[in-house]
Structure 1
Amino acid sequence: MSVTDILAELVAVPSLPGRPNDVITGLIRERLARDGVTAIELPGPEGDRSNLFATIGPADRPGIVLSAHTDVVPTEGQTWTSDPFRLTTDGDRLTGRGTSDMKGFVACVLALVPEFAALPLTRPIHIALSYDEEIGCRGVPHLLARLPGLCAPPDAAIIGEPTDMRPVLSHKGKRAVVAVIEGEAGHSSNPSAGANALYPAGELLLRLRDRAAALAASGPFDQRFDPPHSTLQAGVIRGGSALNIIPDRAEIEIEARTVPAQSPDEIIDGVLADLTRLGGGDGGRIRVSHRELSAYPALPPPDDPALGELLTRLTGHAPIASVSFGTEAGLYRAAGIPSIICGPGSITRAHRADEYVLGSELAACCDMLRQLGRQLTAA
């Protein structure tokens, strides 16, 4: 079956995050089984979704992990020129949700499985597929926790996010939270009869603005990134229901993106300390709390250039030092597995209407994987 046919099957499954994923995992498990490969299902604590892990070759020897997530972002609010969950072809362009991010890579891996299985591998190829990456890399930590019981410690992981088939060495870390401020409702004709939650929310926003400015002015700085410092921003604020009602609740969605020298926790914990100080205000009528949205560590630049050099040989492209978007690579690295990012498609097409991948990009990815398989047959 061609890589395009496999991609069409994958795109046809609307594998949205935060929902049961048995359809997409069942499809992949069945395809692997037809090629003689058994995929191990690793249920997450949610009970209705799972990671998948499969090994081709000797599991007791260090090998290479091919890593991807199977969930895709929703299409609501976007205007597509075709059905987002039906692969459409226009010349070299293949359009559909997840084609770039990142079912194109998954399709390439699955297309190469028969070739991998036919090789006399002396080191294994592992296929690791996670869930709920798009809502905060929630699935892969459970996969990584199970890894020591499934295989020898891997030599490396290739995370196939869309990079135009250019190897990427590092990326920023991230933590996102919702700050919640609760007051007391009342009629706006007597503002003192209630506790307006918007005012402490405004104070928090000003403190957050000042913290963001301090990061831009004082660093730490890392010139491999654009911008070359950690960032902090409020992206969404919700509060109030009507002009004549004292607003009793406000929520602010906040994110920090950090260079490898700085932890996202360091920045967000400071913001949450500001939030805590607002609690008890207005005569004790203001209450504060927060909810975690997502978190993943930065992928620091590698200490050893060997993995970057390998991907340069496999792709013909010199590595890119860094990107500002995040991936699961930082979590693999934190688990002790050297990691690099490289896959078909472009991040500029991800999460947008008419997302697409080029057939030529899929062919280049398959060629990279084919060469990787040959590398792993050497003694």
Structure 2
Amino acid sequence: MSATDILTALVSFPSIVGTPNAGIVEWVRSYLERFGIPVHILPGPESDRANLFASIGPSDKAGYILSGHMDVVPAHEAGWSSDPFALRRDGEKLFGRGTSDMKGFLAAVLAAVPALVASPLTRPIHLAFSYDEEAGCRGVPHLLARLPELCVAPLGAVIGEPSDMRPILAHKGKAAARITLRGRSGHSSRPDLGLNAVHAMATVLQAAVSAAQDLASGPFDPTFEPPYSSLQVGLIQGGQALNIIPDRCNLDIEARAIAGVDPATLLAPIQAAAEVLRASGIGVEWEDLSAYPALSLARHTALAGLLTELTDQEPLAAVSYGTEAGLFQAAGVDAIICGPGDIGRAHKPDEYILATELSACQSMIEALGKRCCA
């Protein structure tokens, strides 16, 4: 099958983040087993979704991991010119949800499998396909926990997020949380008899705004845009009707941290502001939604040099979005970002990838295979 044929199949699975993914996992498993490749299905604690791990080549040698996620963001937004889960081709453009982010990389990897299987590999190439990356990399930690039993310690991991096939050395870390405040409902004409959870959340919201403003003052890392850690409230919900005192309010908040800063610590002042409200009778709940560390790979590492040679492109110092790469590095595996497509096309209507980008990625993977034959 060509990379485009494989991408057609992968896009047809609406593997929305946070939903069961047995369909796409089974399709990939079946495809790989046709080439005699042993496949490990690794269910997560949710029980209705799983990671997938497979190895090509000798099991007793150190090799390279090709890592990507099988989930995609929803496609409810207006503006799609066609069914987002049916690949549509218009010239070199291949439209569909996940084409760039990041089923295009998975398709290129799978299209390279026949060449890899036919090669006399002296070092293995591993495929690590994860779930729920779009919810803060929730799936890959469970895969990494099993890695010592799946393979010899790898030489490095290539995370195929869309990068225009340019290697990327660093990204920010992230932590996200949900704060729930519980008050007491009642008729809005008697605010003295209730506890307004939305009003109480204003204190937390102000703490978040102040913290975000403080972060803009540094510390700085000029490799990132912006060159400082950041914090934002992305969602706030509360109340039932205008004449009912709201007894509940939720706020979702995230922090993105430059290398060397633990993103979870950036949320601590906001959690402290919420806890103060207990004294007034407000109930406070804090739920950690997701977290992953920053990636920081030195330019002089062997992995950076290898990807520079394979792509014939100098690495980009950093990007501000996050990936699974930081988790691989935290687990002791050097990691670098390099994949087909453009992050600017992701998470929007008429997401697409170019057929030439798929071919370039497949060629890079096959070239990696040749390096693993030396």
Question: Shorter-chain TM-score category?
Answer: over 0.9
Does the 8 A contact of 1:215 with 1:229 survive in 2?
yes
Query: How far 1:269 moved relative to its partner?
Result: 2.2
Q: Deviations over 1:56-89 (max 9, x none)?
A: 1112111000000001111113331011111111
Q: Which amino acid aligns with 2:61?
A: R
Does the 8 A contact of 2:77 with 2:348 survive in 1?
no
Which position in structure 1 is the counterpart of 2:265?
266
RMSD: 1.1
Does the 8 A contact of 2:297 with 2:336 survive in 1?
no
Does the 8 A contact of 1:181 with 1:251 survive in 2?
yes
Does the 8 A contact of 1:78 with 1:352 survive in 2?
no
Does the 8 A contact of 2:60 with 2:151 survive in 1?
yes
Which position in structure 2 is the counterpart of 1:248?
247
Query: How far 1:302 moved relative to its partner?
Result: 2.5
Q: Distance between the aligned counterparts of 1:309 and 1:371, measured in 2? A: 14
Q: Distance between the aligned counterparts of 2:235 and 2:44, measured in 1? A: 29
Query: How far 1:212 moved relative to its partner?
Result: 1.2
Which position in structure 2 is the counterpart of 1:222?
221
Specify the SS of the correspondent of 1:54.
strand
Q: Give the structure-1-normalised TM-score.
A: 0.97
Q: Do residues 43 (structure 1) and 43 (structure 2) align?
A: yes
Query: How far 1:304 moved relative to its partner?
Result: 4.1
Q: Deviations over 1:342-367 (max 9, x none)?
A: 00001111111111000111111011
User: Please, which runs of 5 or more residues in structure 2 have no aligned partner?
Assistant: none
Which position in structure 2 is the counterpart of 1:359?
355
Which position in structure 2 is the counterpart of 1:135?
135
Once the two structures are overlaid, the 10-residue window that deviates more, 312-321 or 269-278, is 269-278
Q: Do residues 334 (structure 1) and 330 (structure 2) align?
A: yes
Does the 8 A contact of 2:207 with 2:269 survive in 1?
no
Specify the SS of the correspondent of 2:345.
coil
Q: 1:372 aligns with which of 355, 368, 373?
A: 368
Which position in structure 1 is the counterpart of 2:342?
346
Q: Which amino acid aligns with 1:245?
A: I
Does the 8 A contact of 1:220 with 1:261 survive in 2?
no
Query: How far 1:306 moved relative to its partner?
Result: 2.0
Query: How far 1:368 moved relative to its partner?
Result: 0.7
Q: Do residues 298 (structure 1) and 297 (structure 2) align?
A: no
Q: Distance between the aligned counterparts of 1:71 and 1:199, measured in 2? A: 37
Which position in structure 2 is the counterpart of 1:83?
83
Query: How far 1:139 moved relative to its partner?
Result: 0.8
Q: 2:319 aligns with which of 297, 316, 323?
A: 323
Q: Deviations over 1:163-188 (max 9, x none)?
A: 01110000000011111111101111
Which position in structure 2 is the counterpart of 1:211?
211
Which position in structure 2 is the counterpart of 1:257?
256
Q: Deviations over 1:312-333 (max 9, x none)?
A: 1101111000001110000000
Pairing 1:29-68 to 2, within 5 Å after superposition: 29-68=29-68
Q: Distance between the aligned counterparts of 2:49 and 2:283, measured in 1? A: 35
Q: Percent identity among equivalent residues?
A: 55
User: Please, which runs of 5 or more residues in structure 1 have no aligned partner?
Assistant: none
Which position in structure 2 is the counterpart of 1:110?
110
Q: Which amino acid aligns with 1:336?
A: G
Q: Structure 1 pair 357/119, CA: closer, same or farther in 2 (3 Å)?
A: same
Which position in structure 2 is the counterpart of 1:193?
193
Q: Distance between the aligned counterparts of 1:213 and 1:300, measured in 2? A: 25
Does the 8 A contact of 2:77 with 2:349 survive in 1?
no
Q: Which amino acid aligns with 2:71?
A: D
Query: How far 1:305 moved relative to its partner?
Result: 2.7
Q: Distance between the aligned counterparts of 1:271 and 1:302, measured in 2? A: 33
Q: Which amino acid aligns with 1:277?
A: V
Specify the SS of the correspondent of 1:374.
helix
